[in-house]
């Protein structure tokens, strides 16, 4: 039961001019697809082949013998979550229950922005910045490489890919500009609010 590459939730050009069609063609059609293919090839004929993506992430996390499989399946999950963390016409401030919770747990939207920018900018090398629910409280966090809060007992609400392949064609070395653009023009607060409501 091979897993499949989920389609992007919007057209490849839908995030322009902020993230180009060319970036999403490489990022989704090549990088995300490669993680799917690598995972399928590695687990073919094993018990891991019977699991959902989420189950396979949890089943391989922290097992040195399964590091390669974890890297690929966690990247499959992280990327699908990332596509939904953005939307055309996104960006700006959240509203409603999520906004109130950011005020209560993080000290307000401006503090969230400060922490999220720092998480993305200080993740050395490749990785991810996250807004998660940890023990019922919001937390901004970062993970290296394929690591994911899903495997740490946290509830992911939102993520931003800070691997160079996410921004290099559009922003070259200017990761901070990509992060600012993500927050001002792309972030999908509806998705984060839905994840909070379902937690
Ligand atoms: Mn990526």
Query: For the chain, where do the domains classified as CATH 3.55.40.20 start and end?
Result: 96-197
Q: For residue 37, report the distance from its CA to the centre of ligand 1, in Å.
A: 15
Average pLDDT, the chain: 97
What pLDDT was estimated at residue 53? 97
CATH of 96-197 among 3.30.470.20, 3.20.20.80, 3.30.420.340, 3.55.40.20 = 3.55.40.20
Q: For residue 125, report the distance from its CA to the centre of ligand 1, in Å.
A: 12
Q: For residue 100, report the distance from its CA to the centre of ligand 1, in Å.
A: 30
Q: For residue 51, report the distance from its CA to the centre of ligand 1, in Å.
A: 23
pLDDT value at 1 more than 80: no
CATH fold of 21-84 reads: Helix Hairpins (1.10.287)
Across the chain, the runs of DSSP E, i.e. the strands, are 127-134, 137-144, 155-161
Tokens of 5: 């590459």
Q: For residue 74, report the distance from its CA to the centre of ligand 1, in Å.
A: 11
165-187 pLDDT, tens digit per residue, is: 999 999 999 999 999 999 999 99
Mean pLDDT, rounded, for 78-91: 98
Q: What is the pTM of this model?
A: 0.97
């Amino acid at each position: 039961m091979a897993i499949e590459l989920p389609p992007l939730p919007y057209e490849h050009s839908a995030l322009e001019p902020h993230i180009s069609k060319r970036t999403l063609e490489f990022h989704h059609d090549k990088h995300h697809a490669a993680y799917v293919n690598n995972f399928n090839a590695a687990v073919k004929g094993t018990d891991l082949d019977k699991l959902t993506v989420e189950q396979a992430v949890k089943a391989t996390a922290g097992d040195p013998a399964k590091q390669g499989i974890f890297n690929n399946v966690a990247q499959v999950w992280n990327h699908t979550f990332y596509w939904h963390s953005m939307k055309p016409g996104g960006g700006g401030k959240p509203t409603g229950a999520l906004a109130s919770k950011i005020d209560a747990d993080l000290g307000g939207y401006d503090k969230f922005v400060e922490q999220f920018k720092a998480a993305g900018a200080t993740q050395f090398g490749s990785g991810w910045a996250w807004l998660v629910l940890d023990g019922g409280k919001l937390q901004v966090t970062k993970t290296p490489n394929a690591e994911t809060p899903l495997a740490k007992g946290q509830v992911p609400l939102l993520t931003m890919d800070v691997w160079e392949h996410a921004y290099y064609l559009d922003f070259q070395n200017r990761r901070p500009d990509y992060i600012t653009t993500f927050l001002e023009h792309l972030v999908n607060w509806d998705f984060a609010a839905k994840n909070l409501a379902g937690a």
